[in-house]
Amino acid sequence: EAQVTQNPRYLITVTGKKLTVTCSQNMNHEYMSWYRQDPGLGLRQIYYSMNVEVTDKGDVPEGYKVSRKEKRNFPLILESPSPNQTSLYFCASSSVSGGTSYNEQFFGPGTRLTVL
Amino acid sequence: AQSVAQPEDQVNVAEGNPLTVKCTYSVSGNPYLFWYVQYPNRGLQFLLKYITGDNLVKGSYGFEAEFNKSQTSFHLKKPSALVSDSALYFCAVSAYSSASKIIFGSGTRLSIRP
């Protein structure tokens, strides 16, 4: 089954304790992206990647890091989480056509993060 | 800078009636436009997209959307609403020149009453 998986699904942590949220897709997609969803703000793009070793900032990259060492994986790293990073996080992937990522995105189930 | 506006936080429609969820956008150059739906405790699911060509785009579950360049709008429509259409709907836009960077609207909660 084609899917995007995220782990963990739920996480409660404390300020300053480094954490990683994993994202994996089995569709051989070139493009992957991370979003955070907050009430009234919709989804905001954190980072995206057009392919292995190619990453770029979205609209809200501060406090986050990503890496793309393999095509299927795109982990999101919070080196020193703060309470304002409490949110619902989604990973997504899509294929690329002609070097452009305008195809539909497939979303993971989400990770609900609480930073105390 | 790109932006998307969904002016209605909530839309309430009776089952069987037509529904419209509004979206307006701002981009430099030509846009790519998308609609996604989110059911409770789920990730987003793709409904439809406009890339180029026919201004009326048909998508999943009987939904369609009309691209209006002069009004910079991409409203989502369905002729006859179902209770199962109740969900959170997001409009999204990216630009030809920077298609990797995608902006989502704040979402519109659609509630269909029996």
Whether residues A105 and B46 touch (CB distance < 8 A) is answered with: yes
Q: For residue B30, is pLDDT > 70?
A: yes
Nearest CA among A24, A109, A21 for reference residue A71: A24
Contacts with B26 (C-beta within 8 Å, 6 or more apart), sequence order: B1, B2, B3, B4, B72
Residue A77 phi/psi, 5° resolution? -115, 130
Q: Which of B53-62, B82-91, B92-101 has the lowest mean pLDDT?
A: B92-101
pLDDT at A29: 94
pLDDT at A46: 96
pLDDT-derived band at B94 (thresholds 50, 70, 90) equals confident
- B74-84 average pLDDT score: 97
Can you tell me the distance from the alpha carbon of B65 to that of B69, in angstroms, rounded to the nearest whole number? 13
CB nearest A109 (choices: B6, B42, B103): B42
pLDDT at B97: 65
Task: Name the residue type at position A74.
Answer: F
* Residue to test with chain B: of A9, A38, A43, A60, most B Cβ within 10 A: A43
pLDDT-derived band at A100 (thresholds 50, 70, 90) equals low
pLDDT-derived band at B99 (thresholds 50, 70, 90) equals low
pLDDT at B58: 96
Task: Give strand pairing partners of A106.
Answer: A93
Nearest CA among B84, B103, B85 for reference residue B94: B103
Nearest CA among A80, A81, A82, A55 for reference residue A66: A55
Q: For residue A101, is pLDDT > 70?
A: no
- Name, of A44-53, A61-70, A92-101, the range with top average pLDDT: A61-70
User: Residue B4 in contact with residue B19, Cβ under 8 Å?
Assistant: no
Chain A positions in Cβ-Cβ contact with residue B37 (cut-off 8 Å): none
3-state secondary structure chain B: CCEEECCCCEEEEECCCCEEECCEEECCCCEEEEEEEECCCCCEEEEEEECCCCCEEECHHHCEEEEECCCCEEEEEECCCCHHHCEEEEEEEEECCEEEEEEECCCEEEEEEC
Using DSSP, state whether A84 is helix, strand or coil: helix
Higher pLDDT, B94 or A55: A55
Q: Percent of chain B at pLDDT above 70? A: 96
pLDDT at B101: 81
Distance linking the first and last C-alpha atoms of chain A: 36
Chain A positions in Cβ-Cβ contact with residue B100 (cut-off 8 Å): 31, 33, 48, 50, 56, 101
Q: For residue B65, is pLDDT > 90?
A: yes
